[in-house]
């Protein structure tokens, strides 16, 4: 299963991050692509995964979609795990098998009639999913942290994801259907890890805050960050700065998480 591979790459690199790689609003696809490919190569061995937001590429038209395909193919050559962030209105289940990424994010707020078929399609292609339950934007709490019975809304979504994926576990015991829960407080993350013990978690934040997303063996979570890309851009596109940032993040996580 794909999450087994992701955990293996995290163990090899000792760096539990997924680097967010996307063009800025002003960039053209033909300008962004060489930078993205060079950065992908620079991250080999320093970071295990890339996270690519589908919407950022689609906005650039067919050239952006072609660039996305090229980046995904090159990341595979470089041995990186790829997460295609497609948590938009609806992901047609039939489209999943042709997506070249290892993992797909999908909105949990679509309900089981969408999540079920997407899970089945991912099973056939031996891919995995992150069901987006909680986001890091400032107004997320207006909906996601409302009380729904004895739970918060985002917990309802995470519980649904865990229930749907409970019978599809990989070698390490994690469900094919992980949970994206970003922007949470450390105390909430600790609760998530206990509540969703069979789910791989996608979180965001500094190492000291997100350390509770990992189990006792340093497994079961990956941290989304744009840090390496921002570092390269701040140096005029010098991708060596991205690698240095990834290695620095690895050292930061080592202070809090022991990956076995």
The long-range contacts involving 29-38, CB below 8 angstroms and separated by at least 24 positions, are 29/57, 29/60, 29/61, 29/63, 29/64, 29/66, 29/67, 30/63, 30/67, 32/67, 33/67, 33/70, 33/71, 35/232, 35/237, 35/239, 36/67, 36/71, 37/70, 37/71, 37/74, 38/239
Q: What pLDDT band is residue 88 in, cutting at 50, 70 and 90?
A: low
Summarize pLDDT for 33-87 with one digit per residue, the tens.
999 999 999 999 999 999 999 989 988 999 998 999 999 999 999 999 999 998 7
Summarize pLDDT for 158-214 with one digit per residue, the tens.
999 999 999 899 999 999 999 999 988 899 999 999 999 999 999 999 999 999 999
Residue 98 has pLDDT above 70, yes or no: no
String of DSSP letters for 166-225 = TT-B-TTS-BSEEEEE-S--HHHHHHHHHHTTTS-EEE-S-HHHHGGGS-TTS-SEEEEE
Question: Which pLDDT score is estimated for 89?
Answer: 44
Question: Which pLDDT score is estimated for 141?
Answer: 83
Neighbours of 21 (CB within 10 A): 25
Question: Which pLDDT score is estimated for 70?
Answer: 96
Residue 10 has pLDDT above 50, yes or no: yes
Q: What is the 3-state secondary structure (H, E, C) of 1-60?
A: CHHHHHHHHHHHHCCCEEEECCCCCCCCHHHHHHHHHHHHHHHCCCCCEEEEEHHHHHCC
Neighbours of 190 (CB within 10 A): 14
Residue 92 has pLDDT above 80, yes or no: no
């Amino acid at each position: 299963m794909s999450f087994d591979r992701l955990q293996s790459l995290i163990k090899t690199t000792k760096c539990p991050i997924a680097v967010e790689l996307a063009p800025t609003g002003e960039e053209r696809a033909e300008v962004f692509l060489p930078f993205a490919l060079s950065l992908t190569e620079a991250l080999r061995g320093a970071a295990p995964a890339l996270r690519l937001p589908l919407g950022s590429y689609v906005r650039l038209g067919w050239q952006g979609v072609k660039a996305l395909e090229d980046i995904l193919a090159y990341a595979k050559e470089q041995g990186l795990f790829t997460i295609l962030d497609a948590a938009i209105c609806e992901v047609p289940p039939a489209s999943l098998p042709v997506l070249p990424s290892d993992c797909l994010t999908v909105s949990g707020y679509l309900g089981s009639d969408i999540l079920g078929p997407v899970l089945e399609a991912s099973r056939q292609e031996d891919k995995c999913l992150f069901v987006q339950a909680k986001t890091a934007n400032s107004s997320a709490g207006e909906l996601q942290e409302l009380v729904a019975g004895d739970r918060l809304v985002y917990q309802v979504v995470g519980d649904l994801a865990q229930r749907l994926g409970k019978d599809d576990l990989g070698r390490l015991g994690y469900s094919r259907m992980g949970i994206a829960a970003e922007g949470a407080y450390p105390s909430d993350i600790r609760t998530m890890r206990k509540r969703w013990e069979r789910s791989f978690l996608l979180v965001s934040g500094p190492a000291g805050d997100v350390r509770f997303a990992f189990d006792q063996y340093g497994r079961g979570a990956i941290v989304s960050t744009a840090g390496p890309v921002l570092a390269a851009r701040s140096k005029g596109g010098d991708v060596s700065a991205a690698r240095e940032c990834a290695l620095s993040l690895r050292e930061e996580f080592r202070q809090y998480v022991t990956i076995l």
